[in-house]
Amino acid sequence: MTIDAVIPARDEAPTIVANVEAASGCRFVREVLVVDDGSTDGTADRAREAGAKVIARTGSTGSKAHAMAAGVAATDASAVLFVDADCTGLAAAHLDAVCEPFVARRAAMSLGFFDYGPFWNRLVPWWPPLTGERVLPRWVFESIPAAKLDGYTVEVRINEVIAEGRLPTVGRLMPGVYHRTKRDKLGRRAGLRATWDMYRALLGLVASGDIRLRTYATYLQGLTVESPAVRRPARPRGAGPPP
């Protein structure tokens, strides 16, 4: 089995280097590919300097789904570890822990969940998973019909293939890992608008009947939540609550 990491990135200069380093430090990863959609903040150069192979999508208006598809098309690996470019606190050990159930064949897809704090962390694994940190066989991604590849709905489409095949999934918390939200990146007003657009696209799938709730139920039947296998980093004295 060969695993390459694919990182879709658009204007993620503050975090791209750390995430490329985390992915290339993962002991199961062969190569790191960053798929850039016309970033104007130097993301591509930073990714290259950090050792990633950069795929530049030119003439595109941007699409997370199509960026991920371009990454999969550019590798011959039998499996792909997807990693978002805007993670904070992500280390190679987290990605080792995400890949391990997949490599050990306990899971057809293995997921990493952000650290939302003790209360939410108990609930998050049971929500429909939208996490960008996940490893899966390339055939699962390639089973998504081209017409269904659309922006932020791509994770739902992956989940759909997994549920249709009644395949086992393992999920693991990634202690200390979070991300820069759209509000962090774009400011409050534009960030909230972009967040709303993303959830509207996701809810639209349910409202139109394109995705059935039964798919989620089937996914849950195949889900095992494993303990993190990475310890939460110590918080410095006087630090506030996690983001």
Q: Which residues bind ligand GTP (CB under 6 A)?
A: 8-10, 12, 35-37, 62-64, 67, 84-86, 132, 152, 179, 181-182, 195, 198
Which of 146, 156, 151, 131 is closest to 211 using CA atoms?
Answer: 156
SS (H, E, C) 171-200: EEECCCCEECCHHHHHCHHHHHHHHHHHHH
- Residue 96 binds Mg ion (CB under 5 A): no
How many residues form the binding site for Mg ion (CB under 5 A)?
A: 2
- Residue 179 binds Mg ion (CB under 5 A): yes
Among Mg ion, ligand GTP, none, the one that 10 touches (CB under a kind-dependent 5 to 8 A) is ligand GTP
Q: In the bound complex, which residue of the shown chain has the CB atom lying closest to ligand GTP?
A: 62
Distance in Å, CB of 41 to ligand GTP, minimum:
11
Distance in Å, CB of 14 to Mg ion, minimum:
12
Q: Which is nearer to Mg ion, 102 or 152 (CB)?
A: 152
Distance in Å, CB of 182 to Mg ion, minimum:
7
Distance separating alpha carbons of residues 173 and 116, to the nearest angstrom: 9
User: Positive or negative, the Cα torsion across 81, 85, 88, 89?
Assistant: positive
Which of 73, 174, 75, 167 is closest to 133 using CA atoms?
Answer: 174
Q: Which is nearer to ligand GTP, 37 or 160 (CB)?
A: 37
Site for Mg ion (CB under 5 A): which residue of 11, 12, 37, 86? Answer: 86
Distance separating alpha carbons of residues 218 and 128, to the nearest angstrom: 11
233 CB-near residues (< 8 Å, 6+ apart): 89, 175, 176
Residues that bind Mg ion (CB under 5 A): 86, 179
